[in-house]
Amino acid sequence: MHNLVHGRSDGKNKTGAVYAGIQARSGQTGGSRPKHRGHRRDSGPARPTLHNWLKAHREGRLGGPGAKPVTPEQMELARLRAELAKTRMELDIVKKAAAYFAKHST
């Protein structure tokens, strides 16, 4: 399962992780569990996340890629929100730099 999900949570990876979890629970994969409970073999999703995905799959609520069509307006809105967040972060950095230089320029 460690090759299925790498920090992304799109529908394809969710579905793949869910099926890998189902196979692992039923003994269909040859993967071994880590010897120590605190040791994580992979950088995949956390156990609660997988649990929620498995639950959604059992209830028929887990959609694959393209399950929800995204309109061009929604795509533009998402892009603008990301751009706004980036701009706010940059503004915060500029404000902090200006305050630092104002304080240390005397």
Closest to 19 measured CA to CA, from 40, 50, 59? 50
With beta carbons less than 8 A apart as the criterion, state whether 45 and 9 touch. Answer: yes
State yes or no: pLDDT of 25 exceeds 50. Answer: yes
Residue 33 token pair: 């569990």
pLDDT in tens, 62-104: 777 667 777 899 999 999 999 999 999 999 999 999 999 999 9
pTM over 0.85: no
State the pLDDT at residue 84: 97
d(Cα 28, Cα 15) in Å, to the nearest integer? 17
Number of helices (H) and strands (E), helices first, in the chain?
Answer: 3, 0
Q: How confident is the model at residue 56 (pLDDT cuts 50, 70, 90)?
A: confident
pLDDT, position 77 = 96
